[in-house]
Amino acid sequence: MPRTFADARQWTAAGTELLLKAARCLDAVSLAAPSALPGWSRAHVAAHVAANAEALSNLVRWAATGVPTPMYASPEERAAGIARGVALPAGELVGRLHSTARELEAGMAALGEREWAAEVVTAQGRTVPATEVPWLRAREVCVHAVDLAGGVTFADLPGGFLAALCDDIAAKRAAAPGPAVRLRSPGTGGTWELPGDGEPALVTGGLPALTAYLAGRGPGPLTADGTPAPALGAWL
């Protein structure tokens, strides 16, 4: 079933709660520790998610005012914003996670039907209605709650979100070169196809494991013949 605007709003709230709960006890030592993302500490993840809230708030402002307000001034400014966040004291960085999430939510709550229908442009250059903003935020908070490596796993995320994320990632991967893979989740009946090189590898497993695999957060379940699932390139 296709995701709805109401779904995305609910998943944003649920993911934000998981993320902030995972970040609540982070101190300087734990923030400096590695996250689940290669080359990034937990502080990098936290700084990125806070910066994302500010960037999406720019799109909300664009929708509310009609004045074009890009998410980021440039890729360099995006990277510099994360670096500034990483350099903050632990308490300030965790506080920024909270404050930016609140500000984004307040901005979204103030939009009316007309504003939600306004077109904005994502950091990837896609022109979308503002109704896509909650989905973009849901992806950030849910996936990065796992990346904080603080005990949250894909199994803790809403099942509907996982299925929608698989749809989203599979569609994006289908447009890029890669191995042919057929994914099947017997528990939910979900199936996803990645067209690509060679005979499709059948990968069957639970929805959380398949989502983690598609998102590049794990090797995935074994294929039907017992071999490892094909390695996938970067998702975003």
| Residue range 190-209: mean pLDDT, rounded | 94
Question: Which of 152, 185, 220 delimits the end of a domain?
Answer: 152
Same domain for 129 and 21:
yes
pLDDT of residue 233: 85
- Domain residues for 165? 161-236
pLDDT of residue 97: 97
SS3 string, the chain, reads: CCCCHHHHHHHHHHHHHHHHHHHCCCCHHHHHCECCCCCCEHHHHHHHHHHHHHHHHHHHHHHHHCCCCCCCCCHHHHHHHHHHHHCCCHHHHHHHHHHHHHHHHHHHHCCCHHHHCCEEECCCCCEEEHHHHHHHHHHHHHHHHHHCCCCCCHHHCCHHHHHHHHHHHHHHHHCCCCEEEEEEECCCCEEEEECCEEEEEEEECCHHHHHHHHCCCCCCCCECCCCCCCCCCCCC
* Cut 0.85: pTM above it: yes
CATH code where residue 129 lies = 1.20.120.450
- Residue 1, pLDDT above cutoff 80: no
Same domain for 120 and 9:
yes
| Residue range 206-234: mean pLDDT, rounded | 92
Give the residue, 198 or 41, on which the prediction is more confident.
41
